[in-house]
Amino acid sequence: MPVRHVDAHDTTATAERPVAARDAWVGPGRAAREPGLKETEFDLAVQLGRIRVLPGDDGGGRRVDRAEIDRLRAGPGFPEALRRSAQAVGTTEGAALIDVTKTRFTRLARLGLLVPVRFHLNRYRAVVWLHPAEELRLFAADDRNAPLLTGRTPESLRSLLDTGVDLRPRNWRTRQPGFLLRRADDPWARAGAVASLLDPLHAAEAVPDPHDRSHLNRFRRPPPSHGAPGSPAANPAEELMTAQDPDEVARLRADLTGLTEEARAHRPAPRPAPRRPGPDRRRREAVEPVRGTSRGLPARWWRGNR
């Protein structure tokens, strides 16, 4: 096979490589359109790990490898199966999906048997939980769950409900580390993802070094956007994002400590350079006499012999 030589004026070969690299991946908008997904469905599929994304070359935006699009197309039941796995439903639709009343659906979710994947605030600032439709179908299809879908709720579960238990916020948070860590492409970003789920005081206890903590704060993820930070609409999101139960806090603190140690070994956090005296101060120290030194002896000797 003849070898092709490229001289300084032949730009065909060099131009082909960037084009090929660009064609090897697509942006999230196109990655959603090609499999026939809505933007919200694409985001949910990414969050659930159904679609793998990569960070952009500049560390900013997201991109999807062309091979990943081909994998989705080759999946069984494409595209209906993919769309079904990327649907999130509220209480009314979810209850109809598993053939129970809305009251029973809410009780199952409060008990932690149905795990929400998203939430939003309605116009009354009440939290509206969304569940993956595919997980609800699997829950209803499991024969072991049949007693929970019909008949009287077991006494042990009713006792929990009477205490006011509601595991939806905690169960929602259990999904967040995986989602946030999948989006992190740097050891400090992975540590920041876990720190996002802790109160600043608990995070400070896990990362006592102030320089590490200051650098880590750059990578903390904000809660889902529901208004300007500190606004009445944003406060519920901030509360839901923050771990509450002692065992949950302890587990996240241990994870944060370990991830911060890994990040520090990979790249230490920036530290301020040691302060050096300015030129004026050095000049002053060189000119001014120091008390108690020999430079003051001639004046004292002259005064003593007057």
Report pLDDT digits (tens) over 194-216: 999 999 999 999 999 999 999 99
> Using one digit for the tens of pLDDT, what is the confidence trace for 211-267?
999 999 999 988 876 566 666 667 888 899 999 999 999 999 999 999 999 999 999
DSSP assignment string, 33-92: HTTT--HHHHHHHHHTTSS--EE-TTSSSEEEEHHHHHHHHTSTTTTHHHHHHT-EE-HH
Closest Cα partner for 226 from 133, 119, 304?
119
- Average pLDDT value for the chain: 84
- Over pLDDT 70: what percentage of the chain? 77
Length of the chain equals 306
**CB-based contacts of 48-57 (< 8 A; 24+ apart in sequence):** 48/85, 48/86, 48/117, 48/132, 49/178, 49/182, 50/82, 50/85, 50/86, 52/182, 53/28, 53/182, 53/183, 54/25, 54/185, 55/183, 55/185
CATH architecture of the domain covering 21-85 = Orthogonal Bundle (1.10)
> CA-CA distance, 24 to 16, in Å (whole number)?
12
In Å, how far are 36, 88, 95, 161 from 110, measured between CA atoms?
34, 17, 14, 8
Give the pairing type, strands 118-121 and 88-89.
unpaired
| pTM score | 0.77
Give the per-residue pLDDT at 236: 86
